[in-house]
Structure 1
Amino acid sequence: MTFVPLIRLPWRNAHEDRRSLPRHWVDSTSLTHRIDAWRLWLADKPRGYWLLYQSRPAEFCAALAALWESGRVAVLPADNRPETLARLAETVDGTLPEAPDVTATRQHDTAAFAIPEALDPTATAVVLYTSGSTGNPVRLAKRFNQLDTELAAHTRLWPLAGSGVISQVSHQHIYGLLTGVLHPLCAGAPFYGDPCRYPEGLIERLKEAGEAHLAPVIVSSPAQLSRLPNHLGWHDSPRPRRVFSSGARLALAHAQHTEALLKAPVIEIYGSTESGGIAQRRQTQDTVWQALPGVELSFSKGRLALRSPFLEAPQQWWYQPDRVAPRHGGFELLGRADRLAKIAGKRVSLDQIECLLAETEEVREARCVDLERADGRLGVVVVADEAFIPHQRETRHALIKRLRSRLSSHLEGVATPRYWRFVDALPSNAQGKLDHELVQRLFADLDDHKAPRWLGEYRADVTSCCISLEVPERLIFLEGHFDDYPVVPGVVMVQWAIELASTSFGELGEFKGIERLKFKQVLRPGARFTLQLTRRAEGIAFTIDSQEGRHCTGQVRLQTHGGKHG
């Protein structure tokens, strides 16, 4: 199997080892008709920059190839929230729809457009956006020669001959784009053409790869690997050739757990949207990061600098905002060098606060964040084992008091975090990161006194969602309900269920009523609870539970546009 660079249009190269693929798996041959459909749709459209967001890897790949063949640049938003797309739409020449108009492309008259022999290696291929972990996302352009050089390095390190790629991460981000879509495309390896976010889907994809005599390669993230359940039949599935992880720090325990379950090496890739890939490691064998082929490293005063063919200016030194320690021809990561916040005129290290908290028995991991609030105080997201997660107001206050006491001998009082969130796993976006948007959501109740405190959610599949929440003590609905024994009104619980269902599942349709509504016991301020949502044809079913038991259950009847209600 030969590597074909992007500038040589690998999607137009038919492979001799063409095989029968399972449903929803694709390769360059099966993509051709979709690329042609997109080319025809684009034939009379303006050139320039085009906004491309597609949740399906196969359709994304076809649309991307069509843009490139027609001399256009793909602009890849990190998400498809209406406000994101509306903001970016003002900066581009057009926005691709979900699918090309079939009436205009049904005859697939390829004579309507020309297929170039090659693409200009110095032309801009894509515009991406950083994850926004420390602020607003930054716009970054990548040329074809940058992408091709990095893809060639991937091929040298991790060849895909005889493999089938299953991606669990978003291809709208550089890691998922390169590893989950472009590498298999250039290597002629099949890849799964639909999203594969959940463990149950992953195990089905592994079996499909095995039936097609493909060695599975999994492209994943710490968020997914940290939640692989033991009870699924991993031992009955084909053993993956390798598992990739990137986007955030992967805990050693999670790497070990993944390797034990899947019987495959877990390879981490370290880098960023700005720098491209920098280094890789298999931390179950060695914690030291080794540079990717062609990447030159330099260490000065504990900071990492690099020259790389993946950079926009390959001959210039790029200074990565990470502290490192040189080790055995590579390096160890020590944390971000720029994670300083100015509190009451004093510089405070967010890394220091996280390290101090991680030394305590109760804290597995901590993420300190500058919320940029008027009071100037910090927030912190604490990952704790279930035994230490507080479920009532009293235990939460007691835990915060103990943790603040731990920090008091190292920090001035004003530098100690004021706002605390306790979770069993760090919430993450499609790139596996706790980004700016998720931080805002974790602390949204500070300004919205009608909302519950959101602490994360888990989706088993597209129709089911379990959300972890708390009742804020400053919830406005507690006023007058009742003075000596405040409780959350039942109507508020129902309203929360409807609002959060809309956030999780998108537009729900017209409200038609509530059925089978039962209130079992009261929900008190400071209580931690779960909201289980299930999407059904006739509406939404919901339950609210806590350690005290069940509080509320019901079904919301809805009518979708153009449909019938239950």
Structure 2
Amino acid sequence: MNWIKLEQLLLEGHTARVVSFDPPLSHHALCTQALSLAGGLQQRGVQRIAVHLDDAADLAVALLGAWRAGASILLPADLQVHTRQRWDAHVDVWLTNSAELEALYGAPLPAAELDLDACQLSLCTSGSSGEPKRIDKNLRQMANEVEALEQLWGHELGDACLIASVAAQHIYGLLFRVLWPLCAGRLFARQQLAFPEDMQRASLEHPAFAWVASPALLKRMADNLNWPALSQVRRVFSSGGALPSEAAHALQQRLGQWPTEIFGSSETGGIAWRQGPTLWQPFAGVQLSQSEDGALRIASPYLPPGHIEQTADAARIEADGRFELLGRLDRIVKLEEKRISLPMLEHALTQHDWVQEARLGVVNENRASLGALLVLSASGLFALREQGRRALTQTLRQHLGQHCEALALPRRWRLLRQMPLTSQGKLPQAQVDALLLAPRPTLPEVLSQHPLDDGWTLNLSIPPDLAFFSGHFPKTPVLPGVVQVDWAMSLGQQLLDLPPRFAGMEVLKFQQLVRPGDSIELTLRFDRERSKLHFAYRNANAACSSGRILLEAACG
């Protein structure tokens, strides 16, 4: 590959070199657009710019153009109202779509080499507490990192197209799916692809491809994909969180290679990598030491010169420099003066066949105790359906009792379909604690909804921890019929212009039980002439229940 240093990307436009596709963008066009943006920013006196672009090629234009203009760049994690309010005073312009990008174009500046130390980029991360944090970097740190990545894996990747499931707003996506392929001359997909089927479709359009993925996506990859064709993937990268060992093993079985896990952070950049159940291998130039409590300290070419970053990651370092992670020290809590490691207990829970993922937090009610968020495995969901919630949690308490004192056993349990991760693949501890305090759900999760001529079809997921399962029946939880009727009417009122008053039922049928974790389809049709709401629940091809709800206008 014809490597171009990061600071020299604007020096010459390689007409034949294609950067991205759908629509195609050549390196020459990238330079032209970036220099036009640089001219427009200088003409307007813009010094600080916030950039949040879904299109990775547009993001490349924005970065190079802003750096050429001498403007600093902020990459916010999202575009929520509170995010924009938080950073508004720190920037002159927000750039959030292609139209806003093009509107800033002006007379182009001449091509020039970028100043590695003067070009600035700020990343935003939620941190372990959920409080937004700004991390400043310069171009030299990122240039050092992309060159290290190319030294490690460039020969193997060759001309592979980079297909990504992660956003480019964060350090992992920014480096692996934008800056690295730009320098190496590899194609990269413009859009973040959030579903395995989308990753497959995009991958199979290219003779050579590699994945820049998250654990959240990789663990959802199932047998329905064309694994023989996908086994041509050059390398599978995973970062943003821990990849469950069973997911890594499944990928190894299907693809013939272990995914390459990247350990790092927005603050440090990449720290280490590994494939399979092995120790972590530090990246070239990364120097590790430890604090008195065993937490990793990082010195790296991806950090400012002389800076040592203190992490909260406990580790055991071997003589050859490789290391094992032992959990986060900032997630050690005290209960009745006893120090309890939440990561250790989470690991113990996931060793049980019934638990796929676990996160623990502190519940402060009367006296402090632990609570657990769980995503059940298939066997765990089966146990819940056959034995009930109480038997499941008691079994897990007994299992955990082999690893801790009684005071550390969770007193509150919440069963989730999936962990509510942020766009960065994180679950801040503050959100864990809030979920543990929240009441159990009373409504289904609406996965999708589609309009019909006279109604709607909704795809629903039945929460495994639905409050109505308690007492109906404790050892065999089923969804009560009265709740199914109530949901039909409630969802119908949200989607259809219904009379508000319930007046009775007709032809009510219950044919199949609805159980925890079921995915069901609800069809709603409103007969306006007769003022009747027809509803039908189906589980795959089997009818669960159906009926007609009679409705009347409010009196008076």
* TM-score using structure 2 length: 0.78
Alpha-carbon offset, residue 253 of structure 1: 2.8
Q: Which moved more, 1:44-53 or 1:273-282?
A: 44-53
How far apart, CA to CA, are the structure 2 residues paired with 1:102 and 1:127? 19
Show the counterpart of 2:280: 289
How far apart, CA to CA, are the structure 2 residues paired with 1:202 and 1:347? 43
Q: Which moved more, 1:387-396 or 1:87-96?
A: 387-396
Show the counterpart of 1:199: 196
Show the counterpart of 1:63: 62
Show the counterpart of 2:348: 356
Question: In structure 1, what residue type is equivalent to 2:213?
Answer: S
Pick closer, same or farther for the CA change 1:518–1:388 going to 2, 3 Å: farther
Alpha-carbon offset, residue 252 of structure 1: 3.0
Alpha-carbon offset, residue 384 of structure 1: 2.8
Show the counterpart of 2:528: none
Pick closer, same or farther for the CA change 1:24–1:493 going to 2, 3 Å: farther
How far apart, CA to CA, are the structure 1 residues paired with 2:437 and 2:508? 27
Question: In structure 1, what residue type is equivalent to 2:50?
Answer: L
Q: Which moved more, 1:81-90 or 1:224-233?
A: 81-90
Pick closer, same or farther for the CA change 1:471–1:71 going to 2, 3 Å: same
**In 2, are the aligned partners of 1:529 and 1:545 still within 8 Å (CA)?**
no
The one-character-per-residue Cα deviations of 1:400-458 (angstroms, maximum 9, x if unpaired) are 12222344566565543233223465443333333458647854743xx886487x979
Q: 2:398 aligns with which of 386, 405, 415?
A: 405
Alpha-carbon offset, residue 399 of structure 1: 1.1
Q: Structure 2: which 5+ runs fail to align?
A: 450-456, 473-479, 500-505, 524-534, 549-556
The one-character-per-residue Cα deviations of 1:335-372 (angstroms, maximum 9, x if unpaired) are 11221123355432212322332343433442213466
**In 2, are the aligned partners of 1:27 and 1:191 still within 8 Å (CA)?**
no
Show the counterpart of 1:481: none
The one-character-per-residue Cα deviations of 1:11-65 (angstroms, maximum 9, x if unpaired) are 5543375369753454533434553564466455442332211222222222222
Question: In structure 2, what residue type is equivalent to 1:513?
Answer: D
Within 5 Å, give how 1:25-174 maps onto structure 2. Answer: 26-32=25-31, 34-35=33-34, 38-39=37-38, 42=41, 44-100=43-99, 112-115=107-110, 117-123=112-118, 125-159=120-154, 160-174=157-171
Asked if residue 329 in structure 1 is aligned to residue 324 in structure 2, the reply is: no
| Partner SS state of residue 355, structure 1 | helix
Pick closer, same or farther for the CA change 1:411–1:269 going to 2, 3 Å: closer
**In 1, are the aligned partners of 2:51 and 2:75 still within 8 Å (CA)?**
yes
Alpha-carbon offset, residue 270 of structure 1: 0.7
Aligned residue pairs: how many? 509
How far apart, CA to CA, are the structure 2 residues paired with 1:216 and 1:96? 30
Q: Which moved more, 1:148-157 or 1:40-49?
A: 40-49
Q: Which moved more, 1:356-365 or 1:50-59?
A: 356-365
Question: In structure 1, what residue type is equivalent to 2:335?
Answer: I
Alpha-carbon offset, residue 317 of structure 1: 2.9
**In 2, are the aligned partners of 1:239 and 1:264 still within 8 Å (CA)?**
no
The one-character-per-residue Cα deviations of 1:474-531 (angstroms, maximum 9, x if unpaired) are 89xx9xxxxxx894374545656998xxxxxxxxxxx65379x998659999955546
Pick closer, same or farther for the CA change 1:224–1:464 going to 2, 3 Å: farther
Q: Which moved more, 1:265-274 or 1:318-327?
A: 318-327
How far apart, CA to CA, are the structure 1 residues paired with 2:522 and 2:118? 47
Show the counterpart of 1:513: 497
Question: In structure 1, what residue type is equivalent to 2:112?
Answer: E
Question: In structure 2, what residue type is equivalent to 1:243?
Answer: V
Pick closer, same or farther for the CA change 1:319–1:156 going to 2, 3 Å: same
| Partner SS state of residue 3, structure 1 | coil
How far apart, CA to CA, are the structure 2 residues paired with 1:395 and 1:402? 11
How far apart, CA to CA, are the structure 2 residues paired with 1:544 and 1:431? 36
Show the counterpart of 2:184: 187
**In 1, are the aligned partners of 2:361 and 2:436 still within 8 Å (CA)?**
no
Q: CA RMSD in A?
A: 4.2
How far apart, CA to CA, are the structure 1 residues paired with 2:459 and 2:79? 19
Q: 1:469 aligns with which of 441, 450, 463?
A: 463
Pick closer, same or farther for the CA change 1:458–1:321 going to 2, 3 Å: farther
**In 2, are the aligned partners of 1:445 and 1:452 still within 8 Å (CA)?**
no
Question: In structure 1, what residue type is equivalent to 2:238?
Answer: S
Alpha-carbon offset, residue 533 of structure 1: 9.3
| Partner SS state of residue 222, structure 2 | coil
How far apart, CA to CA, are the structure 2 residues paired with 1:55 and 1:497? 34
Q: Which moved more, 1:44-53 or 1:390-399?
A: 390-399
Q: 2:310 aligns with which of 299, 319, 323?
A: 319
| Partner SS state of residue 423, structure 2 | coil
**In 2, are the aligned partners of 1:488 and 1:524 still within 8 Å (CA)?**
no
Alpha-carbon offset, residue 381 of structure 1: 2.1
Pick closer, same or farther for the CA change 1:187–1:35 going to 2, 3 Å: same
Alpha-carbon offset, residue 259 of structure 1: 3.2
How far apart, CA to CA, are the structure 1 residues paired with 2:537 and 2:102? 47
Alpha-carbon offset, residue 293 of structure 1: 1.0
Asked if residue 7 in structure 1 is aligned to residue 2 in structure 2, the reply is: no
Alpha-carbon offset, residue 191 of structure 1: 0.6
Question: In structure 2, what residue type is equivalent to 1:255?
Answer: A
How far apart, CA to CA, are the structure 2 residues paired with 1:553 and 1:175? 51
Could you tell me the percent identity over the aligned residues? 30
Alpha-carbon offset, residue 172 of structure 1: 1.0
Show the counterpart of 1:233: 226
Alpha-carbon offset, residue 154 of structure 1: 0.9
Alpha-carbon offset, residue 124 of structure 1: 5.0
**In 2, are the aligned partners of 1:473 and 1:526 still within 8 Å (CA)?**
no
**In 1, are the aligned partners of 2:348 and 2:400 still within 8 Å (CA)?**
yes
**In 1, are the aligned partners of 2:38 and 2:66 still within 8 Å (CA)?**
yes
**In 2, are the aligned partners of 1:323 and 1:333 still within 8 Å (CA)?**
yes
Show the counterpart of 1:258: 251
The one-character-per-residue Cα deviations of 1:195-220 (angstroms, maximum 9, x if unpaired) are 2222222122222221xxxx212101
| Partner SS state of residue 172, structure 1 | coil
Within 5 Å, give how 1:475-486 maps onto structure 2. Answer: none
Show the counterpart of 2:174: 177
How far apart, CA to CA, are the structure 1 residues paired with 2:366 and 2:115? 50
Larger Rg, first or second structure (1 or 2)? 2
Alpha-carbon offset, residue 375 of structure 1: 5.5
How far apart, CA to CA, are the structure 2 residues paired with 1:274 and 1:519? 59
Show the counterpart of 1:298: 289
Pick closer, same or farther for the CA change 1:102–1:63 going to 2, 3 Å: closer
How far apart, CA to CA, are the structure 1 residues paired with 2:405 and 2:462? 32
How far apart, CA to CA, are the structure 2 residues paired with 1:367 and 1:404? 15
**In 2, are the aligned partners of 1:25 and 1:192 still within 8 Å (CA)?**
no
How far apart, CA to CA, are the structure 1 residues paired with 2:377 and 2:52? 37
Pick closer, same or farther for the CA change 1:398–1:184 going to 2, 3 Å: same
Alpha-carbon offset, residue 470 of structure 1: 4.7
Alpha-carbon offset, residue 6 of structure 1: 2.9
Alpha-carbon offset, residue 268 of structure 1: 1.2
Question: In structure 2, what residue type is equivalent to 1:288?
Answer: L
Within 5 Å, give how 1:297-446 maps onto structure 2. Answer: 297-299=288-290, 302-312=294-304, 314-327=305-318, 328-344=320-336, 346-370=338-362, 376-389=368-381, 391=384, 395-408=388-401, 411=404, 414-423=407-416, 426-435=419-428, 439=432, 442-443=435-436, 445-446=438-439
Within 5 Å, give how 1:218-229 maps onto structure 2. Answer: 218-229=211-222
Question: In structure 2, what residue type is equivalent to 1:71?
Answer: G
* TM-score using structure 1 length: 0.76
